[in-house]
Amino acid sequence: MSALGGGSLTASRLGDDGTWRKSSRSGVNTDCLEVCFGDGAVRVRHSKDPGGQIMHFSGPEWRAFLAAVRWREFD
């Protein structure tokens, strides 16, 4: 998806808010985040705890986060 800076996503399972997607680069038994796009928001959760907390981001917040990742601000 272009909103993810060219990252590759695959459908995971259907969440309450829509389709949750997990990176195709994640392994079977590795920790990974899942994202769900819709209703003007981006939702993020831990793939191993789908019933746990969900973080909500606006479109501009999500794009700012992705830009920071691309610029290696978290390394």
Domain residue extents for the chain? 2-70
Residue 58: the pLDDT is: 92
Q: Is 54 exposed, middle or buried (0-12, 13-18, 19+ CB in 10 A)?
A: middle
pLDDT in tens, 10-69: 444 444 457 888 877 776 677 788 899 888 889 999 888 888 999 999 989 999 998 998
Pairwise CA distance, residues 65 & 75, whole Å: 13
Q: How far apart are CA 44 and CA 50, in angstroms?
A: 10
Residue with more model confidence, 15 or 70: 70
Q: Within 13 Å of residue 15, how many CA atoms lie on the same side as its CB? A: 25
